[in-house]
Structure 1
């Protein structure tokens, strides 16, 4: 049972979009943590 090209293409696109989404979320998380850290340092100062 070979998968149709269209379905395979959709799967690849979905995987790529998921990877981009995860990458963006991780970047946002890093920025958020850095801002949170700065605010914490500012509060302690």
Structure 2
């Protein structure tokens, strides 16, 4: 993805998220923000 900038959230945006998350980079790709969440099916 040429010309794409790394994803970077503010400290406030990170604090406001109810989910665990992390920044990741694969090889020479851009930095991404991964949200770690679990969605349960309605019972």
Common fold: TM-score over 0.5:
no
Larger radius of gyration: 1
TM-score, normalised relative to structure 2? 0.23
